[in-house]
Structure 1
Amino acid sequence: MSSTPKLKRVCIVGAGASGMSAAYALSKHPDKFQVTVFDKQSVAGGMATSIDIDADKYGASYINDGVQGCSPVFANTLRMFRMLGFEPTEVGMQISFGKGENFWTNVFPSELVTKFQKDIAKFGRALSTIKKLEPVFAAIPVHTMLRMFGFSTEFGERMVYPLVALFFGTGNQTPYISSAILERVFMDPSMRLFEYDEKSLLASIPTMLAFPKLHDVYQAWREEISSRGNVEFKLGNEVLRVLSRTAKKDGPVRIEYQLGEGDDGSEQHIAAFDELILAIDADSCLKLLGKEATWRERKVLGSVKYLYDVTITHNDLEYMNKYYETQYSPKHNAPLSAAGSAQEREQMTEAFDFAAHKFRPLYYTMQYDQDKSKIEMSFDLTHYQPQFRGEKPAGPISPSDRSEHRNECDPLSDYARRAQDEKGGRPGESARTGMDADGKPEPPLEKHVFQTIFLDRDGSQGLWTWGEIRGEKRIHEKWWKQQSHRWQHYVEVVPWMMFINGKQNTHYAGAWSVLNMHELAVTSGFAAAYRLGADYPFHGDEDCERLFRLYLMLSHGVRLVRHPRPEAPSCNDLERRISSGRKIARGYSHDGAGCHRILDS
């Protein structure tokens, strides 16, 4: 009689999007893996957090404060959320760049767009060239690319830099971003955020998706992962250091961690594992590895540059009106004489009429007069997030909807069921005395919740205007550590990840390994689990697989096997089927919720 196979013990450090994705993929193989997830925070989610606000004052009981939403092409994120019982909300992505004569938007043509018409037309040709020569342009920063193609300095400062900062959250490192990545977000089907327009630079008002309540999404995700019994979450427990990855006794990986409050105080413990997934930022990886880091790891991980930003969530409309264009004004309209044909003039007039009634910016940028390459960014969270219009925390999803993998996890977690309750959209009703562009109740502009991001503490704090946001209008302040997407990242980090992944029983997961997007964080976690022997959870879904295949090859140097790895039915399945007198099938499969099912012959 064969002995029971030994489970591979996996330690995951970090319970953000990448760590949770890795844990989810591994949890679907309870006969192969025993997983422990550590995070020093008391809740899962990493940067994807929600905070409570005064519903009676602002019109909603919470905001998502770290991650706002995503593009509709982020297939892995969307499928995961829908399976858990959560649905993002469609929202028109209107932007407001600059102030006064330097204002422009994707909603209607302004004088600034007319001024740079030749540069805008040339920009499309530049993107095509960059696409053809992507390996070369990966090492060319945006500011150099603009000079190479003969763009005016002011076009770069007023239009290109704000766009890049909006795409990546790169802030005041924007001129140094890789040109190839800029091309990707315009033209890559898995990463595209905007479509290029030869007349206005941006195609008007793309559809974006605003996330449901992220706190509830991640708690539901944790419950789903835990339901299979082979994953333990140690939240509120901080991993202090990696003691070994080549130990001979009890397992090669040994870590030291500190129990969180409510356990044994500050007592430190040692645990042994077979494999390690570091789903944290590169700086933190190096800190944990210490002397255990190889020279390759020190070189690659040490080349990731981080910036420190602060977000101030507030209700200061006076501040917003001082630095941004928050409402439509016909004084910004491009002259009709700039149109080349009667049809173009008609289209411009229609755009002006639309803006007069429906100008609702989600994103704002402001450039500092002292240095126009450096900016400040803001969001109108009331325009962006659907709970301010009475949407329930789960988003616009019906509990009975099973289409496109919705509500596929069975049973749904308590968090998902509560978030789907229609009553969840009621908090703040008394404050929703205004109307949105479609006539739906929302708070009036003076009650809107804004979030302003002050970027690059070490290089730009002297320019910040954060002191002008009145104290009584402030709701929340939070510091963030953000990856810089400077061109060196795509020369010194991205091509070399495959040479450190899988070495010393260690895999790395995190959006920082390529590009700071939630979708890439999710994909990176799936890739780390795949390397350890787990199936890619969404096999056969071409929309999901497209980016996964690319990431797996880029960061791990591995190709995706077309079919899931064969897996034996569990003992419980066999016993259940045998006891019921049913034949065991010749084959077996797994459903999207991770529940293994034997097929009847």
Structure 2
Amino acid sequence: MLRVFSGMSAALAFSQHPDRFEVKLYERSANLGGMATSEAIDSAKYGASYVNDGVQGGSPAFANTFAIFEKLGFQGSEVGFQISFGRDSQEEFWSNVFPSEVIDKFGPDIKKFGKVLKIIKSMEPVFAFIPVSKMLPMFGFSQDFGERIVYPLVALFFGTGNQTPYISSAILERVFMDPSMKLFEYSSSSFLASIPEMRAFPRLSLVYEAWKKEVEEKSNGSVSIVTCREVTQVKRTRKSVTVWSRKTRGTNNDQEVEGPGTEMMEEFDQLILAVDADAALNILNQDASWMEKRVLGNVKYLWDITITHNDLDYMKKYYCLEYDPSLRSKKRLEERDEEALKQFDFAEKNFRPLYYVRSYPSDKTKIEMSFDLTNYQPQFKGESAYGPGGSGRHNERDESPSEDTHSDRKVPKDEYPPLSDHVFQTIFLDKHGSEELWTRDDIAKDKVILEKWWKQQSHRWQHYAGTVPWMMWINGRNRTHYAGAWTILNMHEIAVVSGFAAAYRLGAEYPFKDSEECKRLFTLYLGASHGVRMRSGDRQGLFK
């Protein structure tokens, strides 16, 4: 039986083969899920007893993520992806909900941008190494177009702060045109085509509890998941991988977990490092090969802080929260543009942004972002924490408190709480590069609900030159595979697929091989990050 040290999606794949694999997964914190966490809030004050924190939702194109949710008895909730860029002035505001003066101003640039995306797609290997800041002047785009339109949008996609100008142009093209990654449809007249569908995630703490139970039950004990345990070092030889680990101190459901403990040594046949690149290097330490040091060491991380709050004054000061007819495109009104008139009418009744993005006045390449969690997350409208139609089949409903399943305020589907009761989340990006611009102190202290620091991967072009194409040369070497969104692009879907790919390389079945939607990204990832194709029995078509 093959002994493997693994991550969550890899563990799910291994659990299908209890007779072939003996797997251990160690999680340093008390809760599974990494950035995908849930936090308790005051239900009497805010109308819901929790928020998902760190990961809010995803595109319906995230087929593997939603396939796992469905397998576990959860569903995503459909929500319109409305965005408000800039403050409420005709010189700054634009949105994907209705056309504004800013969109009219950049009409020629917007029309040309669609042609440029096609050029980038046709020459993707070249543009992978060209940052957005170089691509824009290369095609004659104005600096103002970059600062008003492109940089805020890129920051929204990737949360990149002052790294935004250095994003690979090829990755920008992918989020518009790749069926497995795209968030928006491009429009030659409004830049973003209408309001795409997003899916807000169910309560993530329950998802990962159910995920753990699914793995343990299906594997019949051959897969073991242990929280509050940290891997301190590994030693690899031609025959085995030795892993040293120890208990960590943490909390689980507000109960302190005992630790730290003495170090323990175990031996495995294979290792999957489902951790950030810098953490992988720390664990490998002197055991890292020259290539591993080069590839993993090239990944750059930034420190961000998210402040979850209820400060409506702050939000109104820096963003456009409500529909204002004075912000409408005068040109479209004068022309009686039929499509625009429909959009204006819709916005008057339904303008409820999920995302807010603004540039700092002193440096428009640097960005701040906020969410309206009340508009985004369905528990604020009384929806089940399992999602619409979700059963939560691995969760014990009879033993769970009411806040695990429903919010305390039952708001009719078409009604929303007043803005004064909304829960917002503001993200201040890149501590070491932008902290002097932050307006963090403007948020009233008595309105702060949560504060949390995050380590965010930078998607600078160097990542696609020095890490992504070289992953296939370290994956599978020295009895080690790597998993995590950082291997390609910081998306929940990539993180999930990366674990499946590592398990697949070690002989496990891909759980969703009968779904063409799921398999598309998995196949692409397997080729890009591992340099291999699916096994012949799993491929279809003329060239199998």
SS at match of 1:480: strand
Q: Give the superposed CA RMSD.
A: 1.8
**Is residue 369–residue 428 contact of structure 2 (8 Å, CA) maintained in 1?**
yes
**Is 2:237 the partner of 1:246?**
yes
Encode CA deviations 1:155-202: one digit per residue, 9 max, x unaligned: 100110111111112222110000000001101111110000000000
**Is 2:406 the partner of 1:425?**
yes
- Alpha-carbon distance between aligned partners in 2 of 1:555 and 1:540, rounded to the nearest angstrom: 22
Structure 2: stretches of 5+ with no match in the other structure: 250-256, 540-544
> Per the alignment, do residues 263 and 60 of structure 1 end up closer, same or farther by CA in structure 2, a change over 3 Å counting?
closer
SS at match of 2:461: coil
> Per the alignment, do residues 555 and 318 of structure 1 end up closer, same or farther by CA in structure 2, a change over 3 Å counting?
same
2:189 matched to which residue of 1?
199
1:266 matched to which residue of 2?
261
> Per the alignment, do residues 543 and 419 of structure 1 end up closer, same or farther by CA in structure 2, a change over 3 Å counting?
farther
Encode CA deviations 1:244-290: one digit per residue, 9 max, x unaligned: 11076xxx111111124556643111111111000000000000000
**Is 2:483 the partner of 1:509?**
yes
> Per the alignment, do residues 167 and 363 of structure 1 end up closer, same or farther by CA in structure 2, a change over 3 Å counting?
same
Which of 9, 13, 32 lines up with 2:3 in the alignment?
Answer: 9
1:482 matched to which residue of 2?
456
2:519 matched to which residue of 1?
545
- Alpha-carbon distance between aligned partners in 2 of 1:85 and 1:448, rounded to the nearest angstrom: 29
**Is 2:170 the partner of 1:180?**
yes
2:505 matched to which residue of 1?
531
SS at match of 1:394: coil
Aligned length: 528
Match for 1:312: what amino acid? I
> Per the alignment, do residues 393 and 264 of structure 1 end up closer, same or farther by CA in structure 2, a change over 3 Å counting?
closer
> Per the alignment, do residues 444 and 263 of structure 1 end up closer, same or farther by CA in structure 2, a change over 3 Å counting?
closer
Encode CA deviations 1:222-257: one digit per residue, 9 max, x unaligned: 110011211111200111111x11076xxx111111
Match for 2:314: what amino acid? Y
**Is residue 271–residue 481 contact of structure 2 (8 Å, CA) maintained in 1?**
yes
> Per the alignment, do residues 264 and 61 of structure 1 end up closer, same or farther by CA in structure 2, a change over 3 Å counting?
closer
**Is residue 394–residue 419 contact of structure 1 (8 Å, CA) maintained in 2?**
no
Which has the higher Rg, Structure 1 or Structure 2?
Answer: 1
**Is residue 206–residue 395 contact of structure 2 (8 Å, CA) maintained in 1?**
no
1:161 matched to which residue of 2?
151
> Per the alignment, do residues 270 and 398 of structure 1 end up closer, same or farther by CA in structure 2, a change over 3 Å counting?
closer
- Alpha-carbon distance between aligned partners in 1 of 2:44 and 2:536, rounded to the nearest angstrom: 53
**Is residue 209–residue 395 contact of structure 2 (8 Å, CA) maintained in 1?**
no
Match for 2:394: what amino acid? S
TM-score of the two chains, using structure 2 as the length reference: 0.94
**Is residue 73–residue 192 contact of structure 1 (8 Å, CA) maintained in 2?**
yes
Match for 2:210: what amino acid? A
Deviation at 1:346, TM superposition (A): 2.2
- Alpha-carbon distance between aligned partners in 1 of 2:157 and 2:281, rounded to the nearest angstrom: 28
**Is 2:124 the partner of 1:134?**
yes
> Per the alignment, do residues 40 and 235 of structure 1 end up closer, same or farther by CA in structure 2, a change over 3 Å counting?
same
1:589 matched to which residue of 2?
none
> Per the alignment, do residues 352 and 470 of structure 1 end up closer, same or farther by CA in structure 2, a change over 3 Å counting?
same
1:295 matched to which residue of 2?
290
> Per the alignment, do residues 94 and 273 of structure 1 end up closer, same or farther by CA in structure 2, a change over 3 Å counting?
same
- Alpha-carbon distance between aligned partners in 1 of 2:398 and 2:518, rounded to the nearest angstrom: 26
- Alpha-carbon distance between aligned partners in 1 of 2:396 and 2:73, rounded to the nearest angstrom: 9
1:47 matched to which residue of 2?
35
**Is residue 538–residue 544 contact of structure 1 (8 Å, CA) maintained in 2?**
yes
**Is residue 85–residue 416 contact of structure 1 (8 Å, CA) maintained in 2?**
no
**Is 2:532 the partner of 1:554?**
no
2:254 matched to which residue of 1?
none
**Is residue 216–residue 416 contact of structure 1 (8 Å, CA) maintained in 2?**
no
2:343 matched to which residue of 1?
351
Which of 138, 142, 148 lines up with 1:148 in the alignment?
Answer: 138
Match for 2:35: what amino acid? M
- Alpha-carbon distance between aligned partners in 1 of 2:86 and 2:302, rounded to the nearest angstrom: 23
The farther-off stretch of 555-564 and 99-108 is: 555-564
Encode CA deviations 1:448-499: one digit per residue, 9 max, x unaligned: 0000000000000000000000000000000000000000110100000000
Aligned-residue identity in percent? 58
Match for 1:40: what amino acid? R
Deviation at 1:11, TM superposition (A): 1.1
- Alpha-carbon distance between aligned partners in 1 of 2:165 and 2:325, rounded to the nearest angstrom: 32
Deviation at 1:309, TM superposition (A): 0.2
**Is 2:70 the partner of 1:89?**
no
> Per the alignment, do residues 214 and 479 of structure 1 end up closer, same or farther by CA in structure 2, a change over 3 Å counting?
same
Deviation at 1:443, TM superposition (A): 2.2
**Is residue 75–residue 390 contact of structure 2 (8 Å, CA) maintained in 1?**
no
